[in-house]
Amino acid sequence: MEDYVTKTIIVGVVSWTIAFVVARRIFPKCSFDFCNRIVSTIHATLAVTLASLSVEDWRCPICPMTSNSSHKQMQVMAVTLSYLIYDLVCCLFGERANMDNTIHHLVSIVGLGAGLCYQKVTLFTQIKLLFTTQCYKLLAVSPDAAAILRLR
């Protein structure tokens, strides 16, 4: 993994943690989960913005399919990886720690980490992570959503 990617990940984890601490100070009566969701919303907004800025050619945003990721794309993925590491730790210390969420985070971290090591983070990886993250958030908000998402 390149040096700038490692530094981005370290600075990112520290930054997400600071954002959480600031949210806890601004909203002292709100729950741990509420403050974590504030940080999650900041990440979602930042990730979409940075990902949009990292597209080099909007006429064909996924061309060429097999090329190495650009410097900007690697940094965007490093920011997302740092958020996933921060969120994994929050999930372990939070009010609703569960094995499914932990496995989801670990698989995402390993996938992005491998993509960053090989400099091949594909559009499919980004879409898959977005979809699975939203499914887990839906399940966290509404236990009845599990019935909707079950494939039988």
Per 3-state DSSP, what percentage of the chain is helix, strand, and coil (rounded to 5)?
Answer: 75, 0, 25
What is the pLDDT tens value at each position of the chain, 152 positions in all? 789 999 999 999 999 999 999 999 999 999 988 999 999 999 999 988 888 888 777 777 666 566 777 788 888 889 999 999 999 999 888 776 778 788 888 888 988 888 888 887 655 455 555 555 555 555 555 555 445 444 43
Query: From residue 115, how far is each of 67, 101, 118, 128, 145 by CA, in Å?
Result: 12, 21, 5, 13, 31
- DSSP E strands, the chain: none
Structure tokens at 35: 């403050």
